[in-house]
Amino acid sequence: MREDQQKLWLKICQGGRHGIYDYTSPFFSEFIADNEARDEDENSVLNVNGKPMGRAIWNLIITKRDLTLWCKIGMKPTRTWKVTPVKKYFGIKGTGEKLLMNFTQLHDDIFFLINGEEHDDV
């Protein structure tokens, strides 16, 4: 892990750049568990396009799509979808655009942490 990635991980553990992350959230617990599982056995995580991907990262990508739909045009991704479980799972706060901004910052920070570069998944 590069020095800037280590600094980012420390910031995330301290609440992120703007104090918007809760590193005790289920997302971070699952993210750490996925990385440990992948180190032990690549078959224990999802196979996406021939590459291993943890469930936490999958949820991060899918939630970016869902939350963008909900915040930008007011469309629920599914009939039973609610924003409260998203907030609890990722440990983020806010409403509307502020929520989307906080989530996008988390998304970008996690992908920078993983890849060492900015990420645009879709």
pLDDT in tens, 25-80: 899 888 878 877 766 666 667 888 887 788 999 999 999 999 999 999 999 999 99
For residues 80 and 109, give the distance between their C-alpha atoms in angstroms, rounded to a whole number: 29
- Name which of 13-22, 44-53, 110-119 the model is least confident about: 13-22
> Which of 62, 60, 41, 63 lies closest to 52, judged by CA?
41
Q: In this predicted structure, what is the pLDDT of residue 104?
A: 92
Question: Position of tokens 């970008």?
Answer: 108
Q: What is the C-alpha R_g of the chain?
A: 14
Model pLDDT for residues 85-98, shown as the tens digit of each residue: 999 999 988 888 89
DSSP state of 42: G
Indicate the residue type of 28: F
Q: In this predicted structure, what is the pLDDT of residue 70?
A: 94
Q: In this predicted structure, what is the pLDDT of residue 111?
A: 86
Q: In this predicted structure, what is the pLDDT of residue 85?
A: 95
Q: In this predicted structure, what is the pLDDT of residue 103?
A: 93
Whether 122 shows a pLDDT value over 50: the answer reads no
Domain boundaries, the chain: 3-115
